[in-house]
Amino acid sequence: MIYEAVLIALIFIIFYSYAGYGILLILIVRLPLLAKLFPKPRNKVESKNIFPDASEYCPKVTLIISASGESRELIRQKIENTVNLDYPKDKLEVFFAIAYDPSQETDPTLDAYYDEFLAEPSQQKISSTDEEVYIKFFNFDQESDLRSGEVLSKLEEQLEKTRFDSAQLTPGAKELIESNLGAGQIDNEMQVYITKDIRRKGKIAQVNRTVEKAGGEIIVFSDANSFFNRESIRNIVRHFNDMQVGCVAGEKRVKKSESSTSGEGEGLYWKYESLLKKFDSRLWTTVGAAGEIFAVRKELWAGAIEQNAIIEDFVVSMRIAEKGYRVIYEPEAYAEEEPTHDLQSELIRRKRIAAGGFQSIVWLKSLLNPFKYGVLTFQYISHRVLRWAVVPFLLPIVFILNLYLVFANEADWVTGLFALQCLFYFLALTGWRLELKRKKIKIFYFPFLLVLMNYAAYHGFFRYLKGSQSVVWERVKR
């Protein structure tokens, strides 16, 4: 009887993680009396509106677009998407935060930027090296006395840090850049800037430096390969009219693609995640934000996020929740992106997320205290901790224990349960085979995706323990 009880308990945890929490969450939200059983965090920030009507709130916004080696065409599409956003241009500044990409001699992001924003067309191309050198030595050009000991000392220090061959510089590049400084403004007033990572330190290192330069009260984050709906900024910003809101998470949407079968499963997963986020937000706070589209109050950025953060978007949003603020989910602000191209690309992405999940659980261990954080702890454990760090290790235990009981116990329900497990893994295996052949039969996608996620969790766990998960972008095909 003890083994049967353990088996039932483990199966309940697995079911609760994937489906039970969603069912319970909907019931709690729709039954106010039930919601009272889940107290708010003891350090919660009180709700207070800045304007009576949220539509009147129109702060300065900084949009930070992370890029690393994207194609010229994709960057042009992102620029066009950004220009067409429905938000006052004099209240919006845009930064392209470009991480170093050693795979190409020239940077397509910079090339597309200059082609789009130069005041007048020019046959002379400005390289990324020209731009980097100009930024590094611009301040010295403003000094009134270049012969002073202090200035010469700073210049010597900068020269020691900067390595470049003069042959790499374009003749007249400095004059060309300066003659087009006005090109940082388009569509009347919207300001557009670039920050460039000189060494390959990863996305978060570049974002940290860019946030320091941001002049917006609200900072919106995006990736170069994600495209916003026109009203997204307005729909995000209106929530910040309430001082209790510290972060707003938009919706990630994965486009359907005939060339990608893995995208079908990815799309199903994000639809379910969006449903959970919707009800999480209504109960108290959304548990995490997707890096493709989310926003924070600049004052809550807290200086910088650790450069070794693997899934920094999740850590940023949950640290804001840890301070007593709410993370609101806004489905009418969404970012669309292409699905991963193939199984290998999807597996790379999943392993990285899994390693980041274990890292985040360690970093955010204080959120496991229900006496301080109340409903936030309930949401965090139910939505993330169980799925990321518990269920992957329970699945093989349940299978082996169930198999043992089939031979040790003649109960029909034990045999029936084992048959259901075998059916599930058969569907997942079939889904894997279909994926390799790039065929689409939807009934097999979700079992396959669940197994893939848990398989990736093992890799992510050991990557985290060994510290082998790089924070530098692992580009996947889309």
| Whole-number pLDDT of residue 294 | 97
| Whole-number pLDDT of residue 151 | 64
Using alpha carbons, select from 355, 373, 265 the residue that is nearest to residue 312.
355
317 has which bridge partners? none
| Whole-number pLDDT of residue 181 | 47
Mean per-residue pLDDT, 425-445: 85
Task: Give the pLDDT confidence of 386-421 residue by residue, as tens digits.
Answer: 999 999 999 999 999 999 999 987 789 999 999 999
| Whole-number pLDDT of residue 192 | 82
How far CA 330 is from CA of 176, 219, 322, in Å, comes to 43, 15, 20
| Whole-number pLDDT of residue 319 | 95
Has residue 434 been placed in a domain?
A: yes
Has residue 293 been placed in a domain?
A: yes
Mean per-residue pLDDT, 12-24: 96
Among the listed ranges 31-40, 154-163, 273-282, 312-321, which one has the minimum average pLDDT value?
A: 154-163
Task: Give the pLDDT confidence of 353-394 residue by residue, as tens digits.
Answer: 999 999 999 999 999 999 999 999 999 999 999 999 999 999
The one-letter amino acid at 111: D
**Chain mean pLDDT for the chain:** 83
Angle between helices 72-83 and 108-117 (to 10 degrees): 40
| Whole-number pLDDT of residue 434 | 87
Q: Where does the pLDDT of residue 426 fall: very low under 50, low under 70, confident under 90, or very high at 90 and above?
A: very high
Per the structure, how many domains does the chain have?
Answer: 1
Tokens of 432: 């894997």
Q: Please state, in angstroms and rounded to a whole number, the distance separating the CA atoms of residues 98 and 211.
A: 13
| Whole-number pLDDT of residue 454 | 95
Task: Give the pLDDT confidence of 45-61 residue by residue, as tens digits.
Answer: 999 999 999 989 999 99
Angle between helices 412-436 and 2-15 (to 10 degrees): 40
Cβ atoms of residues 241 and 233 within 8 Å: no
Has residue 228 been placed in a domain?
A: yes
Q: Where does the pLDDT of residue 313 fall: very low under 50, low under 70, confident under 90, or very high at 90 and above?
A: very high
| Whole-number pLDDT of residue 53 | 92
Q: Where does the pLDDT of residue 215 fall: very low under 50, low under 70, confident under 90, or very high at 90 and above?
A: very high
The one-letter amino acid at 298: K
Percent with pLDDT over 90 in the chain: 52
Has residue 72 been placed in a domain?
A: no
- The residue segments making up the domain with residue 245 are 1-59+217-478
String of DSSP letters for 76-105: HHHHHHHHT-SS-GGGEEEEEEEPP-TT-S
Q: Where does the pLDDT of residue 123 fall: very low under 50, low under 70, confident under 90, or very high at 90 and above?
A: very low
| Whole-number pLDDT of residue 443 | 82
Q: Is the pLDDT of residue 104 over 80?
A: no
Phi, psi dihedrals of residue 140, rounded to the nearest 5°:
-70, -30
Using alpha carbons, select from 115, 116, 102, 110 the residue that is nearest to residue 133.
110
Query: Strand 245-254 relative to strand 293-297: parallel, antiparallel, unpaired?
Result: antiparallel
Task: Give the pLDDT confidence of 128-187 residue by residue, as tens digits.
Answer: 666 666 666 666 666 666 667 676 677 667 666 666 666 666 676 666 665 554 444 444
Among the listed ranges 5-19, 98-112, 247-261, 300-314, which one has the minimum average pLDDT value?
A: 98-112
Higher pLDDT, 118 or 83: 83
Has residue 427 been placed in a domain?
A: yes
Q: Please state, in angstroms and rounded to a whole number, the distance separating the CA atoms of residues 167 and 224.
A: 31
| Whole-number pLDDT of residue 182 | 45
| Whole-number pLDDT of residue 114 | 55
| Whole-number pLDDT of residue 438 | 77
337 has which bridge partners? 254
Q: Is the pLDDT of residue 349 over 90?
A: no
Q: Is the pLDDT of residue 248 over 90?
A: yes
| Whole-number pLDDT of residue 392 | 97
Produce one character per residue of 337-358: b if its CB has 16 or more CB atoms within 10 Å, e if not.
bbbbbbbebbbbbbbbbbbbbb
Q: Please state, in angstroms and rounded to a whole number, the distance separating the CA atoms of residues 326 and 249.
A: 11
Residue with the two structure tokens 């009147």: 56
Has residue 397 been placed in a domain?
A: yes
Higher pLDDT, 171 or 294: 294
- Please, what is the end-to-end C-alpha distance for the chain in angstroms? 50
Q: Is the pTM of this model over 0.85?
A: no
Has residue 357 been placed in a domain?
A: yes
Q: Please state, in angstroms and rounded to a whole number, the distance separating the CA atoms of residues 293 and 316.
A: 13
Tokens of 326: 């709410």
Has residue 83 been placed in a domain?
A: no
Q: Please state, in angstroms and rounded to a whole number, the distance separating the CA atoms of residues 26 and 47.
A: 23
Percent with pLDDT over 70 in the chain: 75
Mean per-residue pLDDT, 222-227: 93
